[in-house]
Amino acid sequence: MAVLQIREAIRDAMREEMLRDDRVFLMGEEVGHYEGAYKCSQGLLKEFGEKRVIDTPITETGFAGVGIGAAMCGLRPIIEFMTFNFSAVAFDQIINNAAKIHHMTGGQFHAPMVFRGPNAAAHMLGSTHSQAFDTFYAHIPGLKVVSVATPKDAKGLLKAAIRDPNPVIFFESEVQYGVKGEVPEDEYLIELGVADTKREGADVTLLCWGQSVAIALAAAELAQEKGLDVEVIDLRSLRPLDEQTIFDSVRKTNRAVVVEHGWPYGGVGSHLIARIQEECFDALDAPVLKVCYEDLPMSYAENLEHLTIPQPSQVLEALEEVSYRG
Amino acid sequence: MDGQTRDLPPLTEGLKAASQDELAHAFKEMLRIRRFEENATRAYTRGKISGFLHLYIGQEAIAIGTNLAMREGDRIVATYRDHGFALAQGCDATACMAELFGRSGGLVGGVGGSMHFFDRDKGMWGGYAIIGNHVPLAAGHAFAAKYLSDGKVTICFLGDGAVGIGPTHEGMTLAGLWGLPVVFVVENNRYSMGTPLGRTLPVEDITLRAQGYGMESDRFEVTDPFQVRDRLKVAVDRAREESKPTLIELLTYRFRGHSMSDPGKYRTKAELDGFRNRDPMEMTRRALMELHGVSEDALEAVDEAIIEEMDVAMASADASPQPVPEHRFKNVYVEE
């Protein structure tokens, strides 16, 4: 197996799909000559030319819409947002056009495409550049939503997302592009909607995705030292959601904690907790807890940002609390 | 007929140049739209149609003239005032009315309603009701045409009220920057809902914006469908042959309110009468009578046949059942 960074795994996924299918193209700010603000498209312009690796002006609603309009004609666009924070100005295109076109037209049209880019807080970017959009997009029927934490998952899921006939929101992270991991040499796809148990355990189920996977795994190590055997489930896909894997785990451990890069109010984590209590109430030995951002706009200052983002130590406290320890 | 005594405007060059067959076809198609819309009005009043209903009465010559400028495979992308375009493109009148009724036989199976007419096979690519958000989509259709070199042209309509909103600006920017085969047509009916343009546009001439987008432009008062056909054809050819976009502003007028809930009290009777006098559909009727000697009885017979067609369409639509309950789950995702 090759060891790649996440940014390289993303580049390889796009490259392989562009080689496989002429209809696939990449469009976004700085994706071509600059090779990506985070270098996820390194070498692609040189290999595929300006027809298929397209630099745009700063016009998120414009190029998101162009992508949707092109997808409706049978092309397979990959639209890169330099950060999902900028997708806020393309929100209408995504929720009103991409998500609804198949339903609204009685099935006459569909939008097979990927919107990808970094999501959630990075490091000291301030409030407008540190938001998690998971909940906003996972809320919308018609969209699929993926969030990746490892190079292997990034490549396999992105290739599957590009081939998916529906619009897929694909979340990456600025602080994780350099994360390294083993990636199979042979071609592989990872099905959307299948969670991955990143660590098996018997005592508590810990749900995470995207940036919170690393926090969860760190917290599980801390818990191990205290004699708690934590099962870490990386959801990978928020829509469709692999509920069966979640419920099976909770019925085994009888306890669950969610760790989330996102705000507490009405979030993905809240949805997970609602579904667990609906389906696994009799199996639960403790209320399901959630560790997430504080309910605040993100501050720039390093110490304040650190306090706002969930830390492994806080997750450990939650794990101990649902286990009636500590 | 008081038409004899009114001071009617002279027949236009477009009408004079058209053959009797062309005039008869255009007149019939415009009248079909008008009678359809009048039936929709009645159905709305009787509670058969709910939600929003925006009528095309007064603007029919644009949809008909545009259809005549298009080629097979070209695409119309319209606003929520879309019934006229659908009918002009040859969409089934029963399916259109059934869509307004929310029935299973509707153009999109009853899930879209008045503002979301789509019929891919007829070149009717929407039907968009978030102002301006279809402009980047139309640019995207044109992007695909250029990418695939398939020679298809997209004609995107927007209202005068849509020129200030962001997506319009961004879609036109990209179309100009990338030389996309698209024609943007602003239907300026002089009111952004109830607000006259003097209170919505910083500069009256919308086509002045074309220069900033690197586009050619055209601007004219709509007089008849043949003028629309000929002027649009120049832009359609430019798109197809040179892959260049164009911005066109058509000055027109709707005879009804913005939607059914709008009595249109912001307009005077004199203004309305002035526009009715040069209603492009009536002008076309006059051309048939004055230039080709078609009798009033013959035109009356055309009208009666259309009224019959539209009444049958309305009855057929009413006979179409509501969608089955399970239908709401369809088409949320494409299942492989």
CATH tag, A196-322: 3.40.50.920
- Range B302-329 average pLDDT: 97
Helices (H) then strands (E): counts for chain A: 12, 14
Q: Is B174 on the interface with A (CB under 8 A)?
A: yes
**Contact, A192 vs A181, CB < 8 A?**
no
Distance from CA of A94 to the nearest CA of B (A): 10
Q: Answer yes or no: is B167 within a domain.
A: yes
Tokens of B45: 């009043």
Chain A contacts in chain B segment 147-166 (CB below 8 A): 147-148, 166
CA pair distance A204, A61, nearest whole angstrom: 43
Query: What ipTM was estimated for this complex?
Result: 0.96
Given CA atoms B143, B144, B149, B153 in this order, what sign does their dihedral have?
negative
Sketch the domain layout of chain A as residue ranges.
Answer: 2-183, 196-322
Q: Answer yes or no: is B191 within a domain.
A: yes
Residue A123 annotated in active site: no
Whole-number pLDDT of residue B3: 45
Q: Answer yes or no: is B75 within a domain.
A: yes
CATH number (domain holding residue B170): 3.40.50.970
What percentage of chain B reaches a pLDDT higher than 70?
Answer: 98
Closest residue by Cα to residue A172 from A279, A38, A42: A38
- Which residues in chain B have their CB less than 8 angstroms from residue A106's CB? 106-109, 111-112, 118, 331
Three-state SS at B205: coil
Whole-number pLDDT of residue A97: 98
Strand order in the sheet with B75-78: B124-127, B75-78, B154-159, B182-188, B246-251, B216-221
Q: Answer yes or no: is B328 within a domain.
A: no
At a CB cut-off of 8 Å and minimum separation 6, what does B70 contact?
A: B76, B123, B153, B155, B236
Distance from CA of B178 to the nearest CA of A (A): 10
**Contact, A3 vs A182, CB < 8 A?**
yes
Across the interface, do B139 and A65 touch by the CB < 8 Å criterion?
yes
- Range B3-16 average pLDDT: 81
Residue A129 annotated in active site: yes
Proportion of chain A in helix, strand, coil states, percent, rounded to 5: 40, 20, 40
CA pair distance A84, B76, nearest whole angstrom: 32
Whole-number pLDDT of residue B47: 93
Flag whether pLDDT at B7 surpasses 80: no
Whole-number pLDDT of residue B255: 84
Alpha helix ranges (H) inside B214-292: 225-242, 269-277, 280-292
Name the residue facing A165 among B136, B174, B336 (closest C-beta): B336
Look at the block and give the residue holding tokens 């309950």. B325
CA pair distance A139, A238, nearest whole angstrom: 10
- Selecting among A110, A129, A174, A231, the annotated active-site residue is A129
CA pair distance A118, A120, nearest whole angstrom: 7
Neighbouring C-alpha atoms within 13 Å toward the C-beta of A101: 29
Structural domain boundaries enclosing B151: 18-315
Residue type, B335: E
Averaged pLDDT score across all residues of chain B: 94
Q: Answer yes or no: is B336 within a domain.
A: no
pLDDT (tens, 9 = 90+) of chain A, 326 residues, equals 899 999 999 999 999 999 999 999 999 999 999 999 999 999 999 999 999 999 999 999 999 999 999 999 999 999 999 999 999 999 999 999 999 999 999 999 999 999 999 999 999 999 999 999 999 999 999 999 999 999 999 999 999 999 999 999 999 999 999 999 999 999 999 999 999 999 999 999 999 999 999 999 999 999 999 999 999 999 999 999 999 999 999 999 999 999 999 999 999 999 999 999 999 999 999 999 999 999 999 999 999 999 999 999 999 999 999 999 86
Q: What is the DSSP string of B132-172?
A: TTHHHHHHHHHHHHHHHT----EEEEEEGGGTTSHHHHHHH
Q: Answer yes or no: is B12 within a domain.
A: no
CA pair distance B182, A156, nearest whole angstrom: 37
**Contact, B181 vs B155, CB < 8 A?**
no
Across the interface, do B116 and A96 touch by the CB < 8 Å criterion?
no
CATH of the structural domain A2-183, one choice from 3.40.50.880, 3.30.429.10, 3.40.50.970, 3.50.50.60: 3.40.50.970
Confidence of residue B271 (pLDDT cuts 50, 70, 90): confident
Across the interface, do B118 and A109 touch by the CB < 8 Å criterion?
yes
- Which residues in chain B have their CB less than 8 angstroms from residue A140's CB? none
Distance from CA of B113 to the nearest CA of A (A): 9
Distance from CA of B333 to the nearest CA of A (A): 6
Across the interface, do A105 and B170 touch by the CB < 8 Å criterion?
no
Q: Is B270 on the interface with A (CB under 8 A)?
A: no
Mutate to test the interface with A, among B334, B335, B336 (most CBs of A within 10 A): B334
DSSP state of B332: S
> Residue A57: which H helix or E strand, with range?
none
Flag whether pLDDT at B4 surpasses 70: no
**Contact, B225 vs B68, CB < 8 A?**
yes
> Residue B221: which H helix or E strand, with range?
strand B216-221
Q: Answer yes or no: is B324 within a domain.
A: no
CA pair distance A206, B38, nearest whole angstrom: 62
Closest residue by Cα to residue A178 from A20, A12, A311, A7: A7
Closest residue by Cα to residue A144 from A101, A114, A188: A114
Name the residue facing B334 among A56, A102, A141 (closest C-beta): A102
- Which residues in chain B have their CB less than 8 angstroms from residue A75's CB? 144, 147-148
Rg of chain B, C-alpha, whole Å: 20
- Which residues in chain B have their CB less than 8 angstroms from residue A109's CB? 118, 120, 125
CA pair distance B104, B94, nearest whole angstrom: 11
Whole-number pLDDT of residue B254: 86
Count of the separate structural domains present in chain B: 1
CB burial readout A206-238, b (16+ within 10 A) else e: bbbbbbbbbbbbebbebbeeeebebbbbbbbbb
**Ranges assigned E (strand) in A119-201:** 144-147, 167-172, 180-183, 196-199
- Selecting among A8, A17, A29, A60, the annotated active-site residue is A60
Tokens of A254: 């009888």
Flag whether pLDDT at B99 surpasses 90: yes
What Cα–Cα distance (Å) separates residue B255 from each residue in A70, A199, B70?
36, 68, 26
What digits encode the pLDDT tens for the residues B227-249? 999 999 999 999 999 999 999 99
CB burial readout A161-194, b (16+ within 10 A) else e: bbbbbbbbbbbbbbebbebebebeeeeeebebbe
Q: Answer yes or no: is B76 within a domain.
A: yes
Neighbouring C-alpha atoms within 13 Å toward the C-beta of A143: 28
- Range B117-138 average pLDDT: 97
Topology agreement, domain A2-183 and domain A196-322: yes
What Cα–Cα distance (Å) separates residue A284 from each residue in A204, A239, A247?
11, 24, 11
Flag whether pLDDT at B2 surpasses 80: no
Q: Is B51 on the interface with A (CB under 8 A)?
A: no
CB burial readout B231-258, b (16+ within 10 A) else e: bbbebbebbbeebbbbbbbbbbbbbbbb
CA pair distance A132, A120, nearest whole angstrom: 4
What digits encode the pLDDT tens for the residues A235-287? 999 999 999 999 999 999 999 999 999 999 999 999 999 999 999 999 999 99
Cβ-based neighbour number of residue B290 at 10 Å: 13
Closest residue by Cα to residue A191 from A230, A138, A245, A115: A245
Flag whether pLDDT at B1 surpasses 50: no
